[in-house]
A and B are shown apart, each in its own frame.
Chain A
């Protein structure tokens, strides 16, 4: 068992435990903190697969920006742990059973496929920022610009939704 495999299993167990922590903790703030652990584990997987740029982007965008946004919203709402209403236990059981059924079906369908024994080899420079930046600004420059328009529209939409009384402001 090499160092790669030890790291893989460590990151896998960390990601699964933290993901279960996300959906099982009562307090939403603990959920956010568990989700940050999941994102760091997934970034570790990216580094193991030589996608260094995406690992850094994952940490900056998800753990840095999106999770801070979630924490801000939760703390602005001043939610307590007992504020969440209890869901019907039959609905809960139905959700768990359907999720586990999906997992069993997918694993059973994919465990007999041909691709399952393909070895993933480490050691390329594809994930470095030089290669990805060249590809992004040569072949993918139009989607890059369109995504900036998407960000602008998302920003305007968030401001419009977050205003105090948007209907009255528009009618003026």
Chain B
């Protein structure tokens, strides 16, 4: 496959996630759209790692190894982010009995 189809797929997934994050008011769905955007970027990183597979990095191994480990660390950070974010959403639901994202403007008081 050519790289451009992966580029266009990642752009489409990212923009779908962005439309969801902008149009929905349920904060859990907004959070899921952010996960979708993260995954589209991961997919693009893997595609670029295949493109630069013949290049050698500073450690003497292929560039694709570094790229795949980079994606692995992105997944680690995303998992840690999800735990804290869901805890914040649960706390917000306990205080306001709603998960409407507009209730978050009460933080300013």
Report whether chain A binds chain B: yes
As a 0/1 sequence over residues 31 to 42 of chain B, the CB contacts with chain A under 8 angstroms (1 = contact) are 111011001001
Q: State how many angstroms separate the Cβ of A90 from the closest Cβ of chain B.
A: 11
Instruction: Give the complex CA separation of A15 and B31 in angstroms.
Output: 18
Instruction: Name which residue of chain A comes closest to B39, CB basis.
Output: A42
Asked if A120 meets B6 with Cβ closer than 8 Å, knowing A50-B50, A126-B65, the reply is yes
Q: Which of A50, A96, A147, A161 contacts B19 (CB 8 A)?
A: A96
Instruction: Give the complex CA separation of A8 and B8 in angstroms.
Output: 13
Assess whether B107 is interfacial by the CB under 8 Å rule: no
Q: Which of A49, A70, A121, A161 contacts B28 (CB 8 A)?
A: A70
Q: Which of B13, B61, B73, B82 contacts A69 (CB 8 A)?
A: B82
B83 touches A158 (CB 8 A): yes
Asked if A157 meets B87 with Cβ closer than 8 Å, knowing A12-B9, A19-B13, A120-B50, the reply is yes
Interface size on A, residues (CB 8 A): 84
As a 0/1 sequence over residues 42 to 72 of chain A, the CB contacts with chain B under 8 angstroms (1 = contact) are 1001101111011001100110011001100
Instruction: Give the complex CA separation of A74 and B37 in angstroms.
Output: 21
A103 touches B12 (CB 8 A): yes
Q: Which of A102, A120, A127 contacts B15 (CB 8 A)?
A: A102
Q: Which residues of A contact B6 (CB under 8 A)?
A: 45, 120
As a 0/1 sequence over residues 71 to 93 of chain B, the CB contacts with chain A under 8 angstroms (1 = contact) are 11101111111111011111101
Q: Which residues of B contact A51 (CB under 8 A)?
A: 46, 49, 68, 71
Assess whether A170 is interfacial by the CB under 8 Å rule: no
B69 touches A135 (CB 8 A): yes
Q: Which residues of B contact A151 (CB under 8 A)?
A: 76, 79-80
As a 0/1 sequence over residues 140 to 166 of chain A, the CB contacts with chain B under 8 angstroms (1 = contact) are 100100010011011101110110000
Q: State how many angstroms separate the Cβ of A115 from the closest Cβ of chain B.
A: 6
Instruction: Give the complex CA separation of A107 and B16 in angstroms.
Output: 14
Q: State how many angstroms separate the Cβ of B43 from the closest Cβ of chain A.
A: 6
In the complex, chain A residues 90-147 whose Cβ is within 8 Å of any chain B Cβ = 91-92, 94-96, 98-100, 102-103, 106-107, 110-111, 115-121, 124, 126-127, 131-132, 135-136, 138-140, 143, 147
Residues of A in contact with B (beta carbons under 8 Å apart): 4-5, 8, 12, 15-16, 19-20, 22-23, 28, 31-32, 35, 38-39, 42, 45-46, 48-51, 53-54, 57-58, 61-62, 65-66, 69-70, 73-74, 76-77, 79, 84-85, 87, 91-92, 94-96, 98-100, 102-103, 106-107, 110-111, 115-121, 124, 126-127, 131-132, 135-136, 138-140, 143, 147, 150-151, 153-155, 157-159, 161-162
The list of the 3 closest CB pairs from A to B, nearest first, reads A95-B22, A23-B20, A99-B19
